[in-house]
Chains A and B, each alone.
Chain A
Amino acid sequence: MTALKYWQAVNTAMREEMERDPKVILFGEDVAAPGGSFGASKGLLDAFGPERVRDTPISEATIVGTALGAAMTGYRPIVEIMFFDFVAVAMDQIVNQAAKVSYMSAGGYAAPMVIRTICAAGRRTGPQHSQNLEALFAHIPGLKVVWGSTPADVRGLLKAAIRDDGPVLAIESLVEWSSRGEVDEAEDIVPIGSAAVRTQGDDITVLSWGGAAPKTVRALEELGDVSVELIDLRTISPWDRDTVLASVEKTGRLLIVHDAVVDFGVGAEIAATVGRELFGRLRSPIERLGALRAPAPFAPHLEDAYLPQPSDIAAAVRDLVRPSDNT
């Protein structure tokens, strides 16, 4: 075990995968000589040279499309899109091209590629730099979406994504960039589609991931008297139904917390599935907490009001577990 910062976990995952497999290449804006806008690819140019590690023009669509063509013809590209918001510029290449190539070619082509991007929700970067657009991509068949909230998970998921034979959107949290966590070098893969049960509990399941996950951990500190089963989903698509359903079957209650706008969010999909599968076993309605239906505001007090905070999460848990008047 070693303690790594979140960004170092990203960095070592790329470095180790590039050492392991010469077909892994990396390109994007500022990733080579500058080592990444936020330093995620520090040292990789020196380690692997300018053929495999490249700075690109500011051309998000073509960065993704070029990764796709290289993936279809033998490589495993990782591309970095600086901010999650900018992924929208490459929408066609992700949604219509990369995600569909396996299906459209009836398996004749595969696109083993990773689009790494950084979500700056909570970093006061404003409407075009702080969005969480996860639901847009979770909706697309053919694409997988992962988001590690801890150094160990961001590292293990990135490695799994690089080894996956299809396109994976790997989201990273800028607010966690310098947070530290234990990483077990021997256990370095986090399988895509596997959630992590962080704490066992009986009263309620609290499910979150990505930027919201550390806030649920903090909320738990205020909830000493409630027995919470805390789950970090880790993979948004395909999500780990078995783990979530088993937990809610036990606790009878579910609170879903994400940093993306609540309406039409990933929480709705999970709630619909749990509601159908566990109808009659639920002790309270399924509740969702997320961002308000607005672009991400800039001013710190506005952004705090916009995103779910630990105190909101704790209050929602209490509301759900409070014995209702008629029982």
Chain B
Amino acid sequence: MTITPTTEPTIAVDQGLELYRSMFRIRRFETTAGELFAGGKLPGFIHLSLGQEAVATGVCSALDDHDTVSTTHRGHGHCLAKGGDLQQMMAELYGKEGGVTRGRAGSMHASDSSVGILGANGIVGGGIPMAVGSALAAQLDGKSRVSVAFFGDGAVGEGVFTESVNLATLWKLPMIFVCENNGYAELTPTAVHLANTRIIELARPYGIAVEAVDGNDVLAVLAAATRAVERGRRGEGPTLLEMDTTRWHGHFEGDPQRYRSKEELRAMTDRDPVATWRTGLIELGVDAESLDAIEAEVAAEVQAAVEVVELMAPSRADELLRDVYPEGNRA
């Protein structure tokens, strides 16, 4: 079944401003993380979601705190939009004790049980069944909670994607699959790794409700996510949302992107989700100064977080072995 929106999405100005703040926070966080990484401040490697902010913001804005999400190696935006603490997230990237997972997990594996973030995942597709399991728990609880799995087009090639679509549809779970189709899995274009680049068409035969969405239009994302959430809460089963979006940076920071043409790189930011929504808000009558003020607040918030994190203690080495087994239940 394909969902066909019947009305243009509409939105109150206050909510519109919140969407803008959420997207701009992701933009600013990611830009700053990229700079810090280039400056040698962050260990390991990081994958940024610049250009994909509208998906994180639009989907998470349709969720409540008790709904759960699993995400990917490119998950900073999802975590922030779901309510993850910005300073704790930044501290995690640094490997500090004050990190959301105390520097144990880092960029690719962080989670936050206090706001329903089941976890980023270093294994492509690895977090999808986890979200399905949380949807099963929601169904058993009877509490009209929903669960979301964010994943990329690359994860569609993993068996657990297909298995999970089948299982969630079979069991009518309150589950939302959100595929961020950004056209690449690492360095490989979608047409080279998927037999059908329209991911909804790969899922549709299972009988799951599907919708293809302009993932750079935050209102369209929010509207589609809201429909999916409502279906889930009403017990009507899972939905797959395919979000067309754009990855602005390389696969990882430092990726020279030789596989992308000059024209592609030049046109990439044409569909800037943050700028698009800024224009949208101005058309709705919001004055530019209010938006500038939001930007200034967010910039200050990120800057302050970095300053605090810089001074934080490193992750405690004497507790390296903690939590291998759950507390009170150690081996």
Contact = CB atoms under 8 A, between A and B. Distances in A.
B76 to A, nearest CB: 16
Interface string A54-92: 101101011011111111111101000000000000001
B123 A92 contact: yes
B324 A142 contact: yes
A108 B167 contact: no
A238 B329 CA distance: 12
B68 to A, nearest CB: 6
B247 interface: no
Given A61-B159, A144-B331, A102 B134 contact: no
B104 A69 contact: no
User: Which interface class (under 10, 10 to 19, 20 to 34, 35 or more) fits A?
Assistant: 35 or more
B64 interface: no
Interface stretch (A11-19, A28-36, A93-101): A93-101
B141 A69 contact: no
Interface stretch (B3-11, B45-53, B124-132, B253-261): B124-132
A72 B130 contact: yes
B113 interface: yes
Given A72-B118, A103-B324, A142-B325, A59 B111 contact: no
B239 interface: no
A141 interface: yes
A294 interface: no
A136 to B, nearest CB: 17
Nearest to B138: A73
A193 interface: yes
Given A59-B163, A101-B119, A108-B111, A66 B325 contact: no
Interface string B158-176: 0110011011001100000
A25 B133 CA distance: 12
B122 A96 contact: yes
Interface in B313-330: 322-329
A107 B101 CA distance: 8
Interface in B102-120: 102, 104-105, 109-114, 118-119
17 contacts: A64-B129, A67-B133, A69-B129, A69-B133, A72-B118, A75-B137, A93-B129, A96-B126, A100-B109, A101-B119, A102-B325, A103-B323, A105-B119, A107-B322, A107-B323, A108-B101, A165-B328
Interface of B: 68, 70, 100-102, 104-105, 109-114, 118-119, 121-123, 126-141, 147, 159-160, 163-164, 166-167, 170-171, 322-329, 331
